[in-house]
Amino acid sequence: MFNTINLLIIVLIAFFDLLFLMIISSGTGILVVLTTQIITAGIGLYFLKSLDFNLFFYIEARFKNKEPIIKELWEEFILLSGACLLIIPGFLSDIIGLLALIADTRKLICDFIDHH
């Protein structure tokens, strides 16, 4: 499912996310940054605990078989991805993760996926 280009993009995003985190911590202080990272990781773990990881495999199997994926599954997938992003250290991943937890944002993303 992942090829070399996708892996490179993910690594670059993670690099710039951590770089941004270091730039922010130099201005605000490491204690503030560390506290926000612990809080967002806790929120991510809370949501992750209530979700099912088998959803990733189910969606991948339906996608490979060219079967339609219903909107509720996409919303659950976006919520699960958002929870995972909250656990990853970095401000950009936290912002994207928090946006994924908002119901209206998930609806917009699902509508975008439905039209494409």
How confident is residue 42, by pLDDT bands cut at 50, 70 and 90? very high
Percent of the chain with pLDDT over 70: 96
Banded pLDDT at 2 (limits 50, 70, 90): low
Span 50-88, pLDDT tens digits: 777 677 778 788 888 888 777 777 888 888 889 988 988
Q: Is the model's pLDDT at 91 over the cut of 80? A: yes
**DSSP result, 27-93:** HH-HHHHHHHHHHHHHHHHHHHHTS-THHHHHHHHHHHTT----HHHHHHHHHHHHHHHHHSSSHHH
